[in-house]
A and B are shown apart, each in its own frame.
Chain A
Amino acid sequence: QQPVQSPQAVILREGEDAVINCSSSKALYSVHWYRQKHGEAPVFLMILLKGGEQKGHEKISASFNEKKQQSSLYLTASQLSYSGTYFCGTTSGNQFYFGTGTSLTVIP
């Protein structure tokens, strides 16, 4: 039931773009995105609900395709502060499942 993310890891130069994908084998009703820096707690980025919507947060946006049971996170013109591990999350009943994680490293 754990969503699968791809890629597992990515290294970017400052200013480059990246896409992180999240796929679920079960129907998705909502998708959350979090970023976790090493040794710290996850920080909420955004929630997407049913409807194929796209949301934005500074230069980070996401899309949600419930038919394909997928969500993608788009990072534009990456900054050093974007480095961390990105997790998608989905709900199933009362449980919350985090994805497998994508490690993003932005270098100068």
Chain B
Amino acid sequence: NAGVMQNPRHLVRRRGQEARLRCSPMKGHSHVYWYRQLPEEGLKFMVYLQKENIIDESGMPKERFSAEFPKEGPSILRIQQVVRGDSAAYFCASSPATSGGLKQYFGPGTRLTVT
């Protein structure tokens, strides 16, 4: 059973460009979480999604950031008009519906660098 997959693993964007980060949850998992981790800091909750639904996006910046988890395909975290402060590692995690989101399996992360 493949684990949580994220791609790309490394992404470099110039200021003002768009960044798209993808997360494929483990097979059978219908809950996805996105987190941001700044260098030498902990993980900060951004958004919690289930298939076709955003359950909680209270940790996401109000502007430029959006997330989706379509019926088919991976979950996407989209950052428009990136700025240097967006440089961070972005992790997604998935959990099966039955766990109530308690046990999360993390992907390897996408390291975004904004130049």
Which of A's residues lie within 8 Å of B, judged by CB? 2, 30, 32, 34, 40-44, 47, 87, 91, 93-101
Answer yes or no: B14 CB below 8 A from chain A CBs.
no
Supposing A91-B101, A94-B55, A96-B101 touch, asked if A101 and B106 sit within 8 A by C-beta, the answer is no
Query: What 1/0 mask marks residues of chain B from 53 to 93 whose CB sits below 8 Å from any chain A CB?
Result: 00110110000000000000000000000000000000100
Of the residues A40, A44, A100, contact of B105 by C-beta under 8 Å:
A44
A-B contact pairs, 15 of them (CB 8 A): A32-B104, A41-B107, A41-B109, A42-B106, A44-B103, A44-B104, A47-B102, A47-B103, A87-B42, A91-B102, A94-B56, A95-B45, A96-B33, A96-B48, A101-B41
Answer yes or no: B43 CB below 8 A from chain A CBs.
yes
Q: Are A101 and B42 in contact (CB under 8 A)?
A: yes
Answer yes or no: B108 CB below 8 A from chain A CBs.
yes
Q: Are A41 and B42 in contact (CB under 8 A)?
A: no
Q: In the complex, A101 Cα to B37 Cα: how many Å? A: 12
Q: Are B59 and A41 in contact (CB under 8 A)?
A: no
Answer yes or no: B27 CB below 8 A from chain A CBs.
no
Q: In the complex, A93 Cα to B101 Cα: how many Å? A: 11
Q: Which residues on B sit within 8 Å (CB–CB) of A43?
A: 106
Q: In the complex, A12 Cα to B90 Cα: how many Å? A: 30
Q: Are A41 and B108 in contact (CB under 8 A)?
A: yes
Q: Are A30 and B102 in contact (CB under 8 A)?
A: yes
Of the residues B41, B45, B108, contact of A96 by C-beta under 8 Å:
B45
When C-beta atoms are compared, the residue in chain B nearest to A29 turns out to be B102
Q: Which residues on A sit within 8 Å (CB–CB) of B33?
A: 96
Q: Which residues on A sit within 8 Å (CB–CB) of B104?
A: 32, 44, 96
When C-beta atoms are compared, the residue in chain A nearest to B91 turns out to be A41
Q: In the complex, A34 Cα to B105 Cα: how many Å? A: 10
Supposing A40-B108, A41-B91 touch, asked if A98 and B44 sit within 8 A by C-beta, the answer is yes
What's the least CB distance linking A69 to chain B, in Å? Answer: 18
Central interface residue in B33, B35, B42, B107, by most chain A CB within 10 Å: B42
Q: Are B56 and A95 in contact (CB under 8 A)?
A: yes
